[in-house]
Amino acid sequence: MAFKVIVTRDFGHMSDVAAQIVINDIKDTLKRKDTFVLGLATGNTPTGLYKHLAERANAGEFDCSRIVSFNLDEYIGLPGDNAQQRALHPESYGFFMVQELFGLLEVKFKETYVPWGTLVDQGRLLTELNTHPHGWEEQGADKGKAIVIKETAQSDYLSWIRRELLDGYERKISSMGGIDLQVVGVGGRGHVAFHEAGIPFEGNKMLLVRLDENTVENAVKDGHFSSKQECPWYAFSMGAELVYSARTVLLLANGVRKQEPVAESLLHDPSPQVPISYGQICSQQGRSVIYVIDRAAAKGALYNRDAIAKRGIELEDMSG
């Protein structure tokens, strides 16, 4: 089992430490195989990491042409009359990745993938869900729900979403041999990507999610949308089971808002109520989990460091 928590001083220090971990893993892995498969997250937290990666790639430290990337999630319901307009919307995650990483690279990644949420017309989705209520079911113990489309769904549109967009994304990752290192952030309630609190772990590798109101509120609070009415309420997302199937999961967290879910994920047994707690299952299965968090996000973990150590989790404080 390999589960380590590294406490850093601040956002800049967190980003620098995380970048070195990613670069070391890329270099070591490319000695053994031709392609490195990198899992990427969006949001404010990994932006510093991405700047470091771009700078050091452009300096020739590693070969981007041997990297394939997969993003965790993508909105459904962004403004736009067609898939192209939605994909180019400033809040689409594909657009985010171009701004924050892909567009900064002098040598581009071999291939890049973002879940195909912009292909879905939200109005059509809602119509099909309403007219085929027996073709899907909700899963989740809280406000955010997984919309699980049944194999027996009579709607061609819903069946296409399940077969080609959800299962298809999982198949694409599998065809690349799985993800070597997955970067993740953490939501204020402990969710990873759009695997919302309360959605079951098992059988939910790729998710169609109706978002928790708290997630929508945070998207507005963080400045991504001007109002809840403008914010999409659906998304495609890797579920925790797929996220944590990566060989290494690197979780980044900064700020006081993250201290509670970070501590809960380390101190208590895994629970869908705190999706990032799946990291404990991941490490028990022999894969690596590394938290790189700033001192504000680490407050609860530092206070309970002895209890965390008893759970077999190593804590290294680099914030001094």
Print burial letters for 44-83: b (CB count within 10 Å at least 16), e (below 16).
Answer: ebbebbbebbbebbeeeebebebbbbbbbbbbbbbeeeee
The pair phi, psi for residue 139, each rounded to 5°, is -130, 140
Minimal CA–CA distance to 45: which of 88, 81, 96?
96
pLDDT digits (tens, 9 = 90+) for 163-217: 999 999 999 999 999 999 999 999 888 999 999 999 999 989 999 999 888 878 8
Which distant-in-sequence residues (6+ apart) come within 8 Å of 305 by Cβ? 315
The residue extents of the domains of the chain are 2-317
Mean pLDDT of the chain: 95
Is residue 287 over pLDDT 90?
yes
pLDDT, residue 280, reads 96
Q: In this structure, what DSSP letter does residue 132 have?
A: -
Determine the average pLDDT of the residues in 114-130.
96
Helix (H/G/I), strand (E/B), else coil: 38: strand
Is residue 208 within 8 Å of residue 146, measured between CB atoms?
yes
Amino acid, single-letter form, for residue 154: Q
Which distant-in-sequence residues (6+ apart) come within 8 Å of 53 by Cβ? 19, 22, 23, 101
Is residue 11 over pLDDT 70?
yes
pLDDT digits (tens, 9 = 90+) for 25-41: 999 999 999 999 999 99
Is residue 317 over pLDDT 60?
yes
Q: Is the pTM value of this prediction over 0.85?
A: yes
Say which CATH architecture domain 2-317 belongs to: 3-Layer(aba) Sandwich (3.40)
pLDDT, residue 48, reads 98
Determine the average pLDDT of the residues in 250-260.
97
Give the sign of the dihedral formed by CA 66, CA 52, CA 278, CA 210: negative
pLDDT, residue 119, reads 97
pLDDT, residue 1, reads 52
In angstroms, the CA 302 to CA 236 distance is: 34
